[in-house]
Amino acid sequence: MAVSPSQQEQPQKSFHKISIPKAGKVFVYSGKSVAPGEVLAICGASVKGRAGVWTENRRIRSAYLGTVTVQPRHNENDHRIEISVTRPKCPHALHINTTLPKSGDIVIAEVTAVDVLEVQCVIRTVAGENLEEPINAVLRMEHIEPLNPHLIELEDYFAVRDLLLARVVTLDSPVQLDVTGDAKLGVVMSWSAADCLMVPIGPHEVICPETFRKSRKRLSTAVAPVTLPPRK
């Protein structure tokens, strides 16, 4: 059966009319409290970011800890939704991060929990600047090297309170970290059960100077191993 040109064009026009990626998409509602870096919307022809947000790979993210506003704008020639974030009007507004991590940044993170497949952290420092409020992050098994996921357990190499150098991979919630590809990435400070600063004695080994108990650790090469005096 012959198909008229108008019938052939109709599905194509309909598809472009309802195409969400081109128009954009909103994930939040007005009045919602949001965290720094949280994804609020997908930027598109009908969705735009305004004050208090920033855009990365079409993702509109919050620049502050604050409240989001979703504002429809309509006129004869334009129909769009604008996304903005405002800071809270209170004394606590002074304790909001003015520096946010970007993909590829080297950060200092503190370990808060160690699971089977990931290390949960909070970012304390970005680009040498201490943050007013920590940012939640995670270091997953596939972003750890040269550890073999089939032979080791993460709790043997990481512990709560460890401080580590890591690279930001993506700004999801939580932020994804990575310690592969650079020997300087890894644990730089750790503490023993006796609350002593652990001393590095090998590429992946530390010792408590009080109890002389040794532990394995995924160390950064920025930490130089030392030779302890013989035990008396």
The predicted-structure confidence for 8-34, as pLDDT tens digits, reads as follows 444 443 333 334 457 788 888 888 888
State how beta strands 59-62 and 66-74 pair: unpaired
Residue 158 has pLDDT above 60, yes or no: yes
> The domain spanning residue 38 has which CATH number?
2.40.50.100
* d(C-alpha 141, C-alpha 139), whole Å: 7
- Average pLDDT over the chain reads 78
Kindly state whether residues 85 and 117 are assigned to the same domain: no
Q: How far is residue 52 CA from its own chain's centroid?
A: 19
> Does 223 reside within a domain?
no
State how beta strands 47-49 and 79-86 pair: parallel
Which residues are registered as beta bridge partners of 222? Answer: none
> Does 100 reside within a domain?
no
> Does 227 reside within a domain?
no
Element (H, E) at 120: strand 118-126
Kindly state whether residues 111 and 199 are assigned to the same domain: yes
Kindly state whether residues 77 and 141 are assigned to the same domain: no
Kindly state whether residues 115 and 177 are assigned to the same domain: yes
Terminal-to-terminal C-alpha distance of the chain: 97
**Is residue 175 within 8 Å of 202, Cβ to Cβ?**
no
* d(C-alpha 7, C-alpha 50), whole Å: 41
> Does 65 reside within a domain?
yes
What's the angle, vertex CA 202, arms to CA 197 and CA 207, rounded to 5? Answer: 30
Using 50, 70 and 90 to split pLDDT, how confident is the model at 131? confident
**Parent domain of 139:** 106-216
> The domain spanning residue 112 has which CATH number?
2.40.50.140
> Does 16 reside within a domain?
no
Q: List pLDDT tens digits, range 91-113.
A: 444 455 557 788 888 999 999 99
Kindly state whether residues 115 and 86 are assigned to the same domain: no
State the greatest distance between any 2 C-alpha atoms of the chain, in Å, as a whole number.
Answer: 97
Kindly state whether residues 76 and 174 are assigned to the same domain: no
Kindly state whether residues 65 and 149 are assigned to the same domain: no
**pTM tops 0.85:** no
Q: Which candidate, 52, 47, 51, 58, places its Cα nearest to that of 35?
A: 52
**187: burial class by Cβ within 10 Å (0-12, 13-18, 19+)?**
buried
Domain count, the chain: 2
Kindly state whether residues 136 and 183 are assigned to the same domain: yes
* d(C-alpha 150, C-alpha 159), whole Å: 19
